[in-house]
Structure 1
Amino acid sequence: MAKTIFEQTGGTYTMQGDYCLPDLTLPAEEECPIGVWGQRRLRYLKQHHKILYYNLLTFGKLRSHLADVEQEAQSLFLRLVKEYAEREGMTEQLKADNPMEWVCRINNIRERVNEVVNAEIIFI
């Protein structure tokens, strides 16, 4: 009997009852740190873009995609928080004089920036 393309490329089969099933494995992916932004992107892909999720997963590019999204989102978040704080006059003097006011305002800025990052990077 002629070998199949799967067998010619080094693939093997395992007997499961009366059937021979191919031993399939996913390609190895490098370990990349994935933080909160990457986890949000992963959840979004699983729920709303299943085809893209499974394509990235089967080609072994999911973790690198999530790591890229994490890095891009983190840099955008930090840059926008800094810009918004400067634009709204958030100074170290305000932090020293009225810490509660400073915390309220910086938390407000962080939440607004969080929405921007989600809209521009995570949920696209």
Structure 2
Amino acid sequence: MELTYHRKGDYLFPNLTIEETEVNIGKYGMLRRTFLKEHKNSLYQSLLLTGKLNRHLEEIEKAALERLEIQMKKLLEQNPAPSKEVNPMEWTAHMNSLTAIVEESILTELVYS
């Protein structure tokens, strides 16, 4: 590995760059980033400096969305939703409560761990 330097006054500074690809991070990735910044700062700094932060956040986002879909299907099989055409407000309330249950487990197990 060859390092190059640039001079600033009397000092030589290494030309260091972090090569990290840009990814679209959704809700769970942003929540994970905030959690790492506030509660696991050393892990956050390590991931950031090694260029692995975006990949980590992308993996968390992907896993959370997959888990959300799978658990929602399971809960809907166990607790079928009322007819959307007959009573849309009851259907909305039912789906919101199931989503809240699943999101709580995702946040506990993936994001805030």
2:7 corresponds to which letter in structure 1? M
Q: Identical aligned pairs, as a percentage?
A: 35
Q: Highest Rg: 1 or 2? A: 1
How far apart are the structure 2 equivalents of 1:59 and 1:22? 16
Distance 2:103 2:34 in 1: 16
Indicate which of 6, 13, 17 corresponds to 1:21.
13
Q: What is the DSSP-based 3-state SS (H/G/I as helix, E as strand, rest coil) of the residue aligned with 1:21?
A: strand
Corresponding residue pairs, total: 113
**Does residue 1:47 correspond to 2:38, yes or no?**
yes
Write the deviation string for residues 3-59 of structure 1: whole angstroms up to 9, x where unpaired: xxxxxx321222222222222211x12333321111111111111111111111111
Say what the alpha-carbon RMSD is for the aligned residues.
1.4
Aligned twin of 1:3? none
| Matching residue within 66, 71, 78 for 1:87 | 78
* Structure 1 residues without counterparts, runs of 5 or longer: 1-8
Larger relative contact order, structure 1 or 2 (CA cutoff 8 Å, min sep 6): 2
Q: TM-score, normalised by structure 1?
A: 0.83
| Structure 2 segments unaligned to the other structure (5+ residues) | none
Q: Which amino acid aligns with 2:9?
A: G
